[in-house]
Amino acid sequence: MIIWLSSYPKNGNTWLRALISAYYYSDDGLFLGDRNLQNIQQFPVKKSLEGFNFDPSKPGESAKYWIPAQEKLNVDKKLRFLKTHSALVKLGQNDFTNKKNTLGCIYIVRDPRNVLDSMSRHFQIDHDKALSVMQDEKNFTYDFKKINDYSDYQFISSWEKNYQSWKNNRLIPIKFLRYEDLLKETFFVFKEVVEFIDMLINNKSGFNREKAKNAVKSTSFENLKKIEENNGFSESIIARKDKKKIPFFHLGPKNEWQKNFDNKFIEKINNIFQKNLDELNYL
């Protein structure tokens, strides 16, 4: 059965995956980079779509097989964590998931003002364009390194619709957390995540404090940055201009939106996201 690790892009999903993969896919809780993250793949997993008849050159065609693909993955009846940026929605007649295939979800949200700056840098677009993307309710993402292949299409919608679709769902159990809380009280918030997962999978062995400590320590931003510098990182991308790799782990906790925008733009984004900033206690 599937437990989703879900978020809007640049909300902290990679850090969450690092923590969980270190704890559940190692003996000692130490995070070793891509070899750990490979245990938590992004949906749609390529092999899950094999054998289904759809046109990969058409965005959204693979959505017809979201549920059958999950059924295919669940044949072995093993616990499976899957990453997604998809909103929890119905696309046409196609549900993203259902109770039969899903145990629950852990959703991580982040202050949209920091998301905006992080997206701008990662996707090499200016702040205005990033803001437009975050407000686009029809937005989707895919592996843009592939030409005319939308097999891994994810309908992410707007930043607001994305988090609300998961937070307010009545379909599956969800652990909803803020990136900032995970950053401030990493061990205690991660302990809550582990206890939520263990409740979903009926694991009676109890919380492994030492293993969790190792997971927290080995996935600190400084260590993740060092791992990327020494061994590379599969999710980094190539700059369009100089063709050099853009570091995935750039500023992390030092990314402070107040320093990245002028006063006029700050007023603009605060007005746009005011309802969400209030709801999520970011004001």
What percent of the chain is modeled with pLDDT above 70? 90
pLDDT given at position 144: 75
pLDDT given at position 142: 87
* Residues 6+ positions from 200 with CB-CB distance below 8 Å: 3, 103, 104, 173
At residue 239 the predicted structure's pLDDT band, cuts being 50, 70 and 90, is: very low
Q: Which residue has the higher pLDDT, 145 or 266?
A: 266
Instruction: State both tokens at 76.
Output: 């072995």
Average pLDDT over all residues of the chain: 88
Instruction: State both tokens at 173.
Output: 């159990």
Cα 205 to Cα 193: distance, rounded to the nearest angstrom:
15
Burial track 202-221 (b if 16+ CB lie within 10 A, e otherwise)? eeeeeeeeebbebbbebbbe
Q: Which residue has the higher pLDDT, 124 or 196?
A: 196
Q: How many CA atoms lie within 13 A of 126 on its CB side?
A: 2
pLDDT of residue 91 exceeding 50, the answer is: yes
Window from 65-74, 101-110, 186-195, 255-264 with minimum mean pLDDT: 255-264
Q: What is the CA radius of gyration of the chain?
A: 19
pLDDT of residue 227 exceeding 80, the answer is: no
pLDDT digits (tens, 9 = 90+) for 33-51: 888 888 999 999 888 888 8
pLDDT given at position 250: 54
pLDDT given at position 254: 61
Window from 4-13, 211-220, 236-245 with minimum mean pLDDT: 236-245
pLDDT digits (tens, 9 = 90+) for 240-258: 555 455 455 555 566 677 7
pTM as predicted = 0.89
pLDDT of residue 17 exceeding 70, the answer is: yes
